[in-house]
Amino acid sequence: MGAQGELNEIWLNDAGDGTEYRVYQSEWASQGSPAPPAPEELPKEDATELLKITVESIQQDLEEDKKRTEEAEEKKAEIEKLNVTTDEFAKGYDEHVGMLDNGKKRVADQLEAIDDAITALKEMGTDVSKVEQGRNDVEYYQQWFDVERDMVDMLGRKPIRAVPKGP
């Protein structure tokens, strides 16, 4: 718990362009100071705004996730045509693995932000069914990136990197 004078804040980050929105702020309650308002006492506009921002953020995330899966598929198709002993394959392989790893992290961050928003919205007494559906849609991409990344490791088609022998 924070001390008197410190702030209790809830922020929403859309994990896209880095924009963050403070959706709730109050001072921490301490001895002799009043407790922060109960979520149901917060203005309904705050909950409505958080819901709106969250749904818009999920829609943007889904569009970006779809774009990233398409780019990863294109890179995969590109490197499948190459000889595993070439530098071009090694570079493409590394880019593809990086795309998948970045996608996994990005989606995990999205899900964490959505879970935080769901918690805040529930505390405000708001219906979260649209947000939960959006979370399910984002989970699809989490599974996609997980499976694709696992397949890269399992298929065994990895670069054969030449290591020069010493004198």
Query: 157 pLDDT band (50/70/90 cuts)?
Result: confident
Q: Could you tell me if 54 and 117 are in contact, meaning their C-beta atoms sit under 8 angstroms apart? A: yes
Q: Residue 118: which residues within 8 A CB-CB, separation 6 or more?
A: 128, 131, 132, 135
pLDDT at 129: 94
The larger pLDDT score, comparing residue 133 to residue 2, is at 133
Tell me if 11 is assigned to some domain: no
pLDDT at 7: 52
pLDDT at 143: 96
The larger pLDDT score, comparing residue 118 to residue 40, is at 118
pLDDT at 2: 46
Among the ranges given (9-13, 51-55, 95-99, 100-104), the one the predictor scored with the smallest mean pLDDT: 9-13
Tell me if 55 is assigned to some domain: yes
Residue-wise pLDDT tens digits, 16-51: 555 555 555 444 433 333 433 444 444 566 788 889
Between the alpha carbon of residue 34 and those of residues 4, 29, 44, 124, the distances in Å are: 10, 6, 21, 19
Task: Fill in the DSSP letter of residue 11.
Answer: E
What would the mean pLDDT of 71-100 be, rounded to a whole number?
Answer: 94
Show the domain range for 112. 43-155
What would the mean pLDDT of 82-86 be, rounded to a whole number?
Answer: 91
The whole-angstrom separation of Cα 21 and Cα 50 is: 9
Beta 7-13 vs 20-27: how paired, if at all? Answer: antiparallel
Supply the mean pLDDT for the chain: 80
Q: What is the CA radius of gyration of the chain?
A: 22
pLDDT at 30: 37
pLDDT at 6: 55
Number of domains composing the chain = 1
